[in-house]
Structure 1
Amino acid sequence: MKMEGENKSIQCRSSPLVTDGDQLIVDDVKQKSRDQREAFPGEPRCVLCGRYGEYICDETDDDICSLECKQTLLQRVATKGVSVDPLPPVRLPVTDECFYIRDSDDRSGPPSLTVDQTELLRRRLDIHVKGDAVPAPVLSFSSCNLPQKLLQNIETAGFEMPTPIQMQAIPAALVSKHLLVLADTGLGKSASFLVPIVSRCASFRLEHFSDQKKPLAVVLAPTRELCIQVEEQAKILGKGLPFKTALVVGGDAMPRQLYRIQQGVELVVGTPGRLVDLLSKHDIELDSVSMFVLDEVDCMLQRGFKDQVMQIFRALPQPQILMYSATISQEVEKVARSMAKDIISISIGRPNRPSKAVKQLAIWVESKQKKQKLFDILTSRQHFKPPTVVYVGSKVGADLLSDSITVTTGVKALSIHGDKPMKERREIMRSFLVGEISVIVSTAVLGRGVDLSGVRQVIVFDMPNSIKEYIHQIGRASRMGEEGTAIVFVNMENKTLFPDLVEALKYSGASIPRELTNSSCTAGSASEKFHRKRKYGC
């Protein structure tokens, strides 16, 4: 099949794509290697990167995964006059979903790749690592020497293959490396630390049985909703293993949480404030904790949480530290590195940037017109894509707006924020996730980490105070890299964020309202104006 704009051609071996006569539309062909999935047993593999060889290059008859690999292949053929040598063939047992990479010389399992091939794989998956002795990524959970029951639980949880962040972070965590992990929202960060935790804790209990079961791991997160989600996922992964959890958050009775810990658990998941209360008032013992996770670390090490986090950290016996977020500042990174020596940094894509899987749409709307604009979107068949999360800046605003949506548009909406009782918040989340309500109006409590797996649309009604919070919020519209839509309302009230917002929109290829670019040239000091004029060409 000839491709538009290409001198050479490729043939698609998969199910038919959109065609125009004999012409294969270029937009339907995988552009980049990272856009292609991994090959399953028996499927053809790209001769360059090993991913699914969906296409056949008519020039060389080689299997390739994307236009990127096709161009590289043809360049090598033109240079050397011969076809490129394929990656080493992989012999897979029928129970294994893919090959994996190992640094050792042990030949008892699937073959290992060379250092060059490992680096090629990282480039293809957009994995960036810094630090000494970083383990190679894995491409299957079964290659990580995990307990068999945990592997079954991983499959039951719906994880067919690890995501790029799981490929690199899990093997590093399993060999006790301190980690600072940066990745877009929705790429499976929680599982990348929970799998090593469950494996380590369950194995320890099986080898060192004792009636006195003190916690072996602690996970801290900034919101109750995120803690609930993490604990629920941990229980799924640890089912049938000697692995119990305790949820320690505000809104639930403290005596019940204390009793749960005293009965013996392996993992404590909680918010910093409640865990500090338990430490100071009830003297719970954390001297057996060997793994300490800070989820949304940029939030956890900033004002409001930092003192509490450090108090908990000082009560631990030099644990392995795992820190995760989609955004991070230099100041927070400095604090993080002061907590652990020889820390390994892992990032997927470009940190502190919005996910390219989220299509952004910025609309210039004056404050008095925002509510009507929202109603217009929610009553439009073309623009309303439920289930939808609407982000607002205040608790009262969330309540009032959700009521207005229901009354004015007929679309059922509920609000969620920190003043609502924990039981009510859980019921609201349940109703939303099972599809009983189409719209949830939220403050920042749903802005970080929470897996809103069905959500494909986010509307930022009130811009947050920082571009980092904006990145986290719109990230709710994309889970595991699937495409979502984010609509953001902007006006002069948000002028301090204009330069950063313009950059975020440009990064994702979104169109920028004329008012936004014009205003971004006049906001700020004289020196800032000069910098922006040069940077944005205003």
Structure 2
Amino acid sequence: MSSESPRPTFTELGVAVEITDALAALGITHTFAIQEYTLPIALDGHDLIGQARTGMGKTYGFGVPLLDRVFDSADVAEIDGTPRALVIVPTRELAVQVGNDLERAATNLPLKIFTFYGGTPYEEQIDALKVGVDIVVGTPGRLLDLYKRGALQLDQVAILVLDEADEMLDLGFLPDIEKLMSALTHKHQTMLFSATMPGPILTLARSFLHKPVHIRAETADSAATHKTTRQVVFQAHQMDKEAITARILQAKNRGKTIIFARTKRTAAQVAEDLAARGFSVGSVHGDMGQPAREKSLNAFRSGKIDILVATDVAARGIDIDDVTHVINFQTPDDPMTYVHRIGRTGRAGHDGIAVTLVGYDEVLKWSAIDNELELGQPNPPQWFSTSPELYEALDIPEGASERVGPAQKVLGGSIPRSNPRRSRDRS
């Protein structure tokens, strides 16, 4: 943001100079709306509910006051190696992202931050807790396991954060969260952040938060999707979707792109097809181990690859601001999945394009999404990989072909084997 921004700076809101200096080194000086509204309340130690869509700056909305209070607040005990703050997030990927963001903002602070999640050995995590951790970031299942083992102490936690609470509800983590929250029987501050506020999350807030201030960084009637995201929707024949996708990937000014598929098998197949056409592509799906997932995500973040094919569960928590395009290779199952998918682009003020390929057998599913979100596109047109309308809508050069170079290898693994015992393919 420029110095002429109407939003106040972190300095003007009273954030410690050690933190504002670290943020300034990252090019961050002015707040986003959710940060402007939450910081004064959070810095005073009040409970709050922060409601804003993904990509609106929630991490520093809670992360900056959390760091400030743990570092230098009279009502938070001096750090001694037992956790003073606990941040609970729904997925491994988001845990890593939040942990990294907090580390960057805490560069000038004497605080130890550690990220805990499943799929990795316990030993390293238990050893870290023995040495001392001031701020814990983690997923519900692993945090609860560590607490039950006696490795994670919660009796000195002064600040509790629940991030993406609605996602944790969707993933079935609510019982684990309630157990963790019930373990904090002493006085503490709780901040709950969520894009939506379904009934069970409201009940959770009423049960565990003390007179919370409810902050919305948007008006009550604002759209569910970012205004900075242009949505292009059309019907596509199943046999033509890969050729269409190959042409979309040659659009002018296309940068990092996430392609969503409903199933692991489709995600892997699409990735292999695009790699065979010469594209630099990685895959993230549930059959991959954590090291392989992180390798793909890190390559995508760094720009080593600029296309990531992902399933919905695997992609939750991918928090990258410079994604220019999202492609729904398959129509999502429900409106909120659509919102979360296309929320990966058009983030933090950037422009983005979300393309949805509606299969002929997916028209009813799309109509339900369109009706719920009031998108005004109940009957999308039928386009093919050769349709002039496709080229015009997405600024694809006339010479775009189905292949851009020699075949490449997919970063992230091959097609997973089908398992006849499993009736659902969700991750």
Normalising by structure 1, we get a TM-score of 0.65
What is aligned with 1:452?
320
**Aligned 8 A contact 2:321 2:350 in 1:** no
The separation in 1 between residues aligned to 2:2 and 2:25, in whole angstroms, is 21
**Does structure 1 residue 437 correspond to structure 2 residue 305?**
yes
The separation in 1 between residues aligned to 2:102 and 2:75, in whole angstroms, is 18
How far is the alpha carbon of 1:313 from its aligned partner?
0.8
How far is the alpha carbon of 1:152 from its aligned partner?
0.6
CA deviations 1:179-221 (Å, max 9, x no partner) are: 22121222211011000111011115998546x4210111111
What is aligned with 1:407?
276
**Aligned 8 A contact 2:143 2:152 in 1:** no
**Does structure 1 residue 306 correspond to structure 2 residue 174?**
yes
For residue 83 of structure 2, give the secondary structure of its aligned residue in structure 1.
Answer: coil
For residue 218 of structure 1, give the secondary structure of its aligned residue in structure 2.
Answer: strand
The separation in 1 between residues aligned to 2:89 and 2:75, in whole angstroms, is 28
The separation in 2 between residues aligned to 1:400 and 1:347, in whole angstroms, is 40
* Match 1:290 to one of 158, 162, 175: 158
CA deviations 1:470-508 (Å, max 9, x no partner) are: 1111011122121100001224336245233245363xx
Q: Please say which of residues 215-224 and 300-309 is displaced more in the overlay.
A: 300-309
* Match 1:376 to one of 231, 235, 247: 247
Q: Cα distance 1:495–1:37, how it changes in 2: closer, same or farther (>3 A)? A: farther
The separation in 1 between residues aligned to 2:282 and 2:248, in whole angstroms, is 17
The 5-angstrom pairing of residues 252-267 of structure 1 reads: 252-267=120-135
Q: How many residues align?
A: 378
For residue 458 of structure 1, give the secondary structure of its aligned residue in structure 2.
Answer: strand
What is aligned with 1:336?
205
Q: Cα distance 1:493–1:146, how it changes in 2: closer, same or farther (>3 A)? A: same
Q: Cα distance 1:225–1:245, how it changes in 2: closer, same or farther (>3 A)? A: same
The separation in 1 between residues aligned to 2:366 and 2:200, in whole angstroms, is 20
**Aligned 8 A contact 2:52 2:217 in 1:** yes
For residue 486 of structure 1, give the secondary structure of its aligned residue in structure 2.
Answer: strand
CA deviations 1:28-68 (Å, max 9, x no partner) are: xxxxxxxx97626xxxxxxxxxx5xxxxxxxxxxxxxxxxx
For structure 2, the residue ranges without an aligned partner over 5 or more in a row are 383-427
**Aligned 8 A contact 1:389 1:459 in 2:** yes
Q: Cα distance 1:199–1:499, how it changes in 2: closer, same or farther (>3 A)? A: same
What is aligned with 2:232?
361
**Aligned 8 A contact 1:225 1:445 in 2:** no
What is aligned with 2:424?
none
Q: Please say which of residues 485-494 and 435-444 is displaced more in the overlay.
A: 485-494
**Does structure 1 residue 170 correspond to structure 2 residue 19?**
no
Identity rate, percent: 29
The 5-angstrom pairing of residues 90-101 of structure 1 reads: none
Q: Cα distance 1:171–1:448, how it changes in 2: closer, same or farther (>3 A)? A: farther
**Aligned 8 A contact 2:258 2:326 in 1:** yes
**Aligned 8 A contact 1:327 1:353 in 2:** no
The separation in 2 between residues aligned to 1:171 and 1:450, in whole angstroms, is 28
Tell me which of the two structures has the higher relative contact order, counting C-alpha pairs closer than 8 angstroms and 6 or more residues apart: 2
The separation in 1 between residues aligned to 2:78 and 2:2, in whole angstroms, is 42
What is aligned with 2:364?
495
For residue 357 of structure 2, give the secondary structure of its aligned residue in structure 1.
Answer: strand
How far is the alpha carbon of 1:284 from its aligned partner?
2.3
The separation in 1 between residues aligned to 2:159 and 2:76, in whole angstroms, is 18
**Aligned 8 A contact 1:220 1:269 in 2:** yes
**Aligned 8 A contact 2:86 2:159 in 1:** yes
**Aligned 8 A contact 2:92 2:138 in 1:** yes
The separation in 2 between residues aligned to 1:386 and 1:209, in whole angstroms, is 45
**Does structure 1 residue 513 correspond to structure 2 residue 384?**
no
What is aligned with 1:473?
341
What is aligned with 2:88?
220
CA deviations 1:90-141 (Å, max 9, x no partner) are: xxxxxxxxxxxxxxxxxxxxxxxxxxxxxxxxxxxxxxxxxxxxxxxx7121
**Does structure 1 residue 320 correspond to structure 2 residue 320?**
no
Normalising by structure 2, we get a TM-score of 0.82
For residue 344 of structure 2, give the secondary structure of its aligned residue in structure 1.
Answer: helix
The separation in 2 between residues aligned to 1:337 and 1:313, in whole angstroms, is 13
**Aligned 8 A contact 2:326 2:344 in 1:** yes
For residue 149 of structure 2, give the secondary structure of its aligned residue in structure 1.
Answer: helix
How far is the alpha carbon of 1:511 from its aligned partner?
8.7
What is aligned with 1:269?
137
Structure 2 letter corresponding to 1:304:
G
For residue 59 of structure 2, give the secondary structure of its aligned residue in structure 1.
Answer: helix
**Aligned 8 A contact 1:165 1:187 in 2:** yes
Structure 2 letter corresponding to 1:338:
S
The separation in 1 between residues aligned to 2:332 and 2:297, in whole angstroms, is 22
What is aligned with 2:264?
395
How far is the alpha carbon of 1:309 from its aligned partner?
0.7
**Aligned 8 A contact 1:238 1:244 in 2:** no
How far is the alpha carbon of 1:280 from its aligned partner?
1.6
Q: Cα distance 1:313–1:435, how it changes in 2: closer, same or farther (>3 A)? A: same
The separation in 2 between residues aligned to 1:207 and 1:188, in whole angstroms, is 25
How far is the alpha carbon of 1:369 from its aligned partner?
3.2
What is aligned with 1:153?
22
RMSD: 2.5
* Match 2:289 to one of 392, 402, 421: 421
**Aligned 8 A contact 2:264 2:287 in 1:** yes
Larger Rg: 1
**Aligned 8 A contact 1:361 1:511 in 2:** no
CA deviations 1:270-304 (Å, max 9, x no partner) are: 11111111112234211111111111111223461
The separation in 2 between residues aligned to 1:184 and 1:512, in whole angstroms, is 27
CA deviations 1:432-461 (Å, max 9, x no partner) are: 122221211011245444321221100011
CA deviations 1:154-198 (Å, max 9, x no partner) are: 111221211111100111111122222121222211011000111
How far is the alpha carbon of 1:311 from its aligned partner?
0.9
For residue 265 of structure 1, give the secondary structure of its aligned residue in structure 2.
Answer: coil
Q: Cα distance 1:385–1:510, how it changes in 2: closer, same or farther (>3 A)? A: farther
The separation in 2 between residues aligned to 1:203 and 1:370, in whole angstroms, is 55
What is aligned with 1:39?
4
The 5-angstrom pairing of residues 225-240 of structure 1 reads: 225-240=93-108
